[in-house]
Structure 1
């Protein structure tokens, strides 16, 4: 049985509230879970102490039993000092696509030709 420490959504429409639960990976998002180990209220301010609540000792016990936290829960655990989250970096994400690079090269070439023509005219 593959265990996950993940979020289960609660609250009403447009007012989310999440329980941090330990559940079987095959169970539905808001369905059956084994234990509630914390909560996250995204409606509160980022500096509010009740925004993220974690039961650290229970989380450590479940991780020792093989439970894997999801990325969002791992972020919360890293902020609380319970786990290390590896840094992710995608340097290619910010680069423009092929067509945009071709257009930029054409624009630079036209600017260089115009500058050259202006220098030759003088």
Structure 2
């Protein structure tokens, strides 16, 4: 099954997440199919907190991809 979820990057105490499409059997930070955006929970200065490619997310949803709960929240915030 294909899933749209977050993959953790960054260092300790400075997390950075990528919104990715991957096989659900792969590890969280393992190989992925496509990168759809990012989330920076601790933005500094004028940096962007998050960005998403909504058209590609809709494409993967139409193909049958499942979405994690956190990514669902991000999408609903992004559309507002």
- The structure with more strand, counted as a fraction of residues: 2
Which ranges of 4 or more aligned residues in structure 1 deviate by more than 3 Å? none
- The structure with more helix, counted as a fraction of residues: 1
The CA distance in 2 between the partners of 1:68 and 1:6, in whole Å, is 9
Shift of 1:24: 0.5
Tell which has more relative contact order, 1 or 2 (C-alpha 8 A, sep 6+).
2
TM-score normalised by length of structure 2: 0.91
Aligned length: 79
Taking only aligned residues, the RMSD between alpha carbons, in angstroms, comes to 1.7
Shift of 1:13: 1.0
TM-score normalised by length of structure 1: 0.61
The CA distance in 2 between the partners of 1:9 and 1:79, in whole Å, is 20
Structure 2 unpaired stretches of 5+: none
Structure 1 unpaired stretches of 5+: 83-122
